[in-house]
């Protein structure tokens, strides 16, 4: 099971670079040079990060991207919620015949609980902390 998909991986790398150079607008061209991420894929990713409000985008010549929030306010959890469609750990798996109690299934409850735990942890990992290595 992969927790960090390519989308998220590339997002972190790109965001990290942009954050470190946040005085400039950073173009995809620049990012591709720096990170070797496949161009059209990176483009798609940045476009969604823009739509989702993590990045501000500037069109036209000498355009590019900047952070739209402080690196202290961007969390790994955000990326998971953007790229892992709503990040659902727990899906009802039993049918009536087997599952002991359909109404409030223990298994589901427990998985739910684990999911919440993980979310909380991802909610603690900020872009800033990743950049700083703290």
Partner DNA sequence: ATTAAATGATACTAAATTTGTATCATTATA
Partner DNA sequence: TATAATGATACAAATTTAGTATCATTTAAT
For residues 63 and 91, give the distance between their C-alpha atoms in angstroms, rounded to a whole number: 43
Contact 50, 56 (CB under 8 A): yes
Cβ contacts of residue 20 below 8 Å, gap of 6+? 131
For residues 108 and 115, give the distance between their C-alpha atoms in angstroms, rounded to a whole number: 10
Under rule CB under 7 A, residue 53 binds DNA: no
For residues 31 and 77, give the distance between their C-alpha atoms in angstroms, rounded to a whole number: 23
Site string for a second copy, 11-50 (x = CB under 8 A): -xx--xx----------------xxx--------------
Q: Which is nearer to DNA, 5 or 102 (CB)?
A: 5
Q: Which is nearer to ligand FES, 39 or 110 (CB)?
A: 110
Considering only 38-46, 54-62, 66-74, 113-121, which stretch makes contact with a second copy by CB under 8 A?
A: 113-121
User: What are the structure tokens assigned to 27, written together?
Assistant: 């173009």
User: What are the structure tokens assigned to 88, written together?
Assistant: 């659902």
**Contact positions toward ligand FES, by CB under 6 A?**
92-94, 99, 102, 105, 107-108
**Contact positions toward DNA, by CB under 7 A?**
1-2, 5-7, 10, 27-29, 38-41, 43-44, 46-47, 50-51, 57-65
């Amino acid at each position: 099971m992969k927790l960090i998909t390519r989308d998220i991986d590339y997002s972190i790398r790109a965001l990290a670079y942009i954050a470190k150079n946040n005085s400039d607008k950073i173009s995809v061209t620049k990012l591709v040079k720096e990170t070797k991420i496949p161009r059209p894929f990176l483009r798609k990713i940045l476009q969604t990060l823009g739509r989702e409000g993590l990045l501000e985008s500037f069109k036209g010549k000498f355009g590019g991207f900047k952070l739209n929030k402080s690196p202290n306010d961007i969390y790994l959890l955000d990326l998971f919620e953007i790229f892992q469609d709503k990040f659902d750990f727990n899906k009802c798996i039993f049918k009536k015949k087997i599952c002991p109690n359909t109404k409030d299934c223990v298994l589901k409850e427990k998985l739910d609980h684990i999911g919440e735990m993980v979310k909380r942890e991802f909610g603690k990992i900020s872009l800033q902390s990743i950049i700083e290595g703290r």
